[in-house]
Amino acid sequence: MRVLIVDDEASFAEPLAERLRLRGVDTVVAADADAALAELVHAPRDLIFLDVGLPGLDGVGLLPLLRERYPQCEVVMLSGAGDVRKAVQAMRYGALNWLSKPVSLEDVLAECRKATERATARLEAQRLTEAARWRMLGRVAEGVAHEVNNPLNIIVQAAGLIEDCLDTPQASGLPEIDEAREALAAISAQGLRIRELTRKLLMVGHGMDFQEAPLDGAACVRHAVEMLRKRLDDQKVQLELSVPEGDGAPRPFGSATELQQICLHLLENALDALEISGRADGRITVQALKNQDAQGRDWYELTVQDNGPGIAQEAFPHLFDPFFSTRSLQGEPKTAQKSRLLGRFAGLGLSVARSLAHARGGELTGDNASEGGARFVLRLPLAGESCER
Amino acid sequence: MEAAFPPRTFARGFHAEKLMTMRVLLADDERDFVDTLAERLSLRGYEVTTVHNGAEAVRAATSARPDVAVLDLFMPGLPGDETLRQLKVMYPDLPVILLTGHEAVDDNGTSPVAKAFACLTKPLAFKDFVAVLEAAARAGRQASEGGEDGQ
């Protein structure tokens, strides 16, 4: 829990902050509206105790601004005996509650607890909404994939039949036969590309198989690396693996096929980013370890990090949206490569990876590393602990 | 219901001399697909019969006596897995290859799908498909020979 106390009366605010810190609440103090806003830009807060009677812009004036900029952040008003009416007015602007001074530590801690409960409920509601959205998206994607596969299948076989006919002795004298063969090869190759796309579409919003077991994370990573070996070599990317294996290594619980797919998509994403950046010293690091989240739960955590251009700010809200590709936001690739690059991305890899993570009760998040480059963190339940679910 | 499209038989083509004649039954409701596939197989010397649903496949298994049956998993009426079950009751040694548009077949070992010789994903890589067909035919011959030895 992160708390901000906005009060110009230092003899009140500082001791209260100190007592909260002693109870493990991360607390900072601001003396007026400007200092409060500066503090919030610096680091987000979960709960703000806001004094009504501030110098300059008062608490009631600051409140609408806070609600607008930081809707996730709860506000509890603090008022002296004289301005209870103002505090009540603030409730209408969306304050969670008000406390009249002098306030007891118990009251402040009770507000912290309430704010935590509301934040948890809000997160859960968000998670359910997103899960429902993914399920619907999954149904649509599956329908599209099947509808596309049938005609595609006919196209590929028909192209094959023409190829067979060109192989007959009677056809050998045909003019332009080589061009015809090339055209057929193109039809087959493009057909396989569409097939790859529909295969990914089938995974949106779904898990792939039903066999869950404790997994060998290192083997799954290696499997994905082998599938991308040629691309890694072609792009001269340096790959650093630090994934523990053998006895005592943390083991994720899930499906091996799915974990391989997730690794594949994350590595492909990193390779795409490096290809766009055009850097000669491209590097991808893959690291796995057992890690604890804020709620004290242990996870198998797999991090894939590159030294590419990183994720553009505008891209963050859409990072896991199907068919959203960041290439237009990462600057224009060199024109010679452009058409090739634009042709390759399906913008589905990260969506699929996240779907698969969610299907096993895990999570996939993306951010930029402090030293630059994008970093994706996959969390999967640890084998052994998942039985409690 | 009598089939609007009676089973079609495709003649053997120019590659015929390379192979032992093998009879293949293809069942898929996508007519363009089965006909094209049949054409390609017959060019390679296979004798192919095509049908477009499960019930026709069961009838054709008796009339055409195929060495290998290839069934689409999703067909109207009798679906592929049920067709497979019926074929296996009638001809336990007949190798059956299933085609799906979907790789995630819920194969927990109890469904009839487990009795398929192979489960292939569309679109087919034709070379791989022919290789599986040949393997299935070999397995079928061995199974029926083994059965006779046992008698």
Complex prediction ipTM? 0.74
Q: Report the 10 Å Cβ neighbour count for A149.
A: 22
C-beta separation of B87 from B61 below 8 A: yes
Which of A156, A164, A191 is opposite residue B43, by nearest beta carbon?
Answer: A164
Dihedral sign from CA coordinates of B117, B123, B125, B126: positive
Cα dihedral B58/B61/B64/B65 (nearest 10)? -170
What confidence score (pLDDT) does residue A359 get?
80
Among B121, B38, B110, CA closest to B73: B121
Q: Which residues of B touch A206 (CB under 8 A)?
A: 104
CATH architecture of A2-103: 3-Layer(aba) Sandwich (3.40)
Residues 6+ apart with CB under 8 A from A327: A272, A276, A333, A341, A342, A345
In terms of Cβ atoms closer than 10 Å to its own Cβ (0-12, 13-18, 19+), residue B13 is: middle
Dihedral sign from CA coordinates of A42, A48, A49, A54: positive
Q: Which residue has the higher pLDDT, A239 or A82?
A: A239
Which of B33, B104, B106 is opposite residue A157, by nearest beta carbon?
Answer: B33
What confidence score (pLDDT) does residue A127 get?
72
What confidence score (pLDDT) does residue A208 get?
57
Residues of A with CB under 8 A from a CB of B: 145-146, 149-150, 152-154, 156-158, 160-161, 164-165, 168-169, 191-192, 195, 199, 202, 206, 208-210
Q: How is domain B8-150 classified at the CATH fold level?
A: Rossmann fold (3.40.50)
Which superfamily, per CATH, for A213-388? Histidine kinase-like ATPase, C-terminal domain (3.30.565.10)
pLDDT above 50 for A386: no
Of A3-17, B22-36, B103-117, least confident by mean pLDDT is: B103-117
Residues 6+ apart with CB under 8 A from A69: A40
What confidence score (pLDDT) does residue A22 get?
93
What confidence score (pLDDT) does residue B123 get?
77
The token pair that represents A211 in the structure block: 């066999």
**What average pLDDT does range B81-110 have in this prediction?**
78
Q: Among A139, A147, A150, which would you mutate to test the B interface (most chain B Cβ atoms within 10 Å of its Cβ)?
A: A150
What confidence score (pLDDT) does residue A43 get?
82
Which of B14, B30, B39 is opposite residue A154, by nearest beta carbon?
Answer: B30
Please state, for a pLDDT cut of 90, what percent of chain A lies above it: 37
pLDDT tens, residue by residue, A222-252: 988 988 888 899 999 999 999 998 888 999 9
Q: Among B10, B37, B119, which would you mutate to test the A interface (most chain A Cβ atoms within 10 Å of its Cβ)?
A: B37
pLDDT tens, residue by residue, B43-79: 888 999 999 999 999 999 999 999 999 999 888 888 8
Q: Give the chain B residue nearest A142 (alpha carbons).
A: B102
What confidence score (pLDDT) does residue A230 get?
85
**What average pLDDT does range A337-354 have in this prediction?**
60
CB pair distance less than 8 Å for A146 and B123: no
pLDDT above 60 for A209: no
Place of tokens 């493990």: A24
pLDDT above 70 for A220: yes
Cα-only R_g, chain B = 15
What confidence score (pLDDT) does residue A144 get?
85
Which of B14, B106, B123 is opposite residue A152, by nearest beta carbon?
Answer: B123
What confidence score (pLDDT) does residue A266 get?
94
Of A45-54, A67-76, A140-149, A181-190, least confident by mean pLDDT is: A140-149
pLDDT above 90 for B145: no
CB pair distance less than 8 Å for B33 and A154: yes
Q: Which residue has the higher pLDDT, A21 or A279?
A: A21
pLDDT above 80 for A153: yes
What confidence score (pLDDT) does residue A282 get?
93
pLDDT above 60 for A187: yes
| DSSP code for B89 | H
Alpha carbon of B82: minimum distance to chain A alpha carbons (Å)? 21
**What average pLDDT does range B94-101 have in this prediction?**
88
What confidence score (pLDDT) does residue A372 get?
86
Would you call B17 an interface residue with chain A, using a CB distance cutoff of 8 Å?
A: no
CB pair distance less than 8 Å for A210 and B108: yes
pLDDT above 90 for A311: no
Q: Which residues of B touch A150 (CB under 8 A)?
A: 30, 33, 101, 122
* Banded pLDDT at A385 (limits 50, 70, 90): low
Q: Which residues of A touch B103 (CB under 8 A)?
A: 199, 202, 208
CB pair distance less than 8 Å for A209 and B101: no
**What average pLDDT does range A338-361 have in this prediction?**
67
Would you call B14 an interface residue with chain A, using a CB distance cutoff of 8 Å?
A: yes
* DSSP H or E run through A184: helix A177-201
Q: Which residue has the higher pLDDT, A373 or A207?
A: A373
CB pair distance less than 8 Å for A199 and B103: yes
Q: Which residues of B touch A157 (CB under 8 A)?
A: 33, 36-37, 40, 123-124, 126
Strand partners, B71: B27, B98
pLDDT tens, residue by residue, A241-292: 999 988 889 999 988 888 988 998 999 999 988 988 888 899 999 999 999 8
Q: Which residues of A touch B43 (CB under 8 A)?
A: 161, 164-165
Phi, psi (rounded to 5 degrees) for A41: -65, -40
Alpha carbon of B108: minimum distance to chain A alpha carbons (Å)? 9
pLDDT tens, residue by residue, B9-28: 766 555 545 446 899 999 99
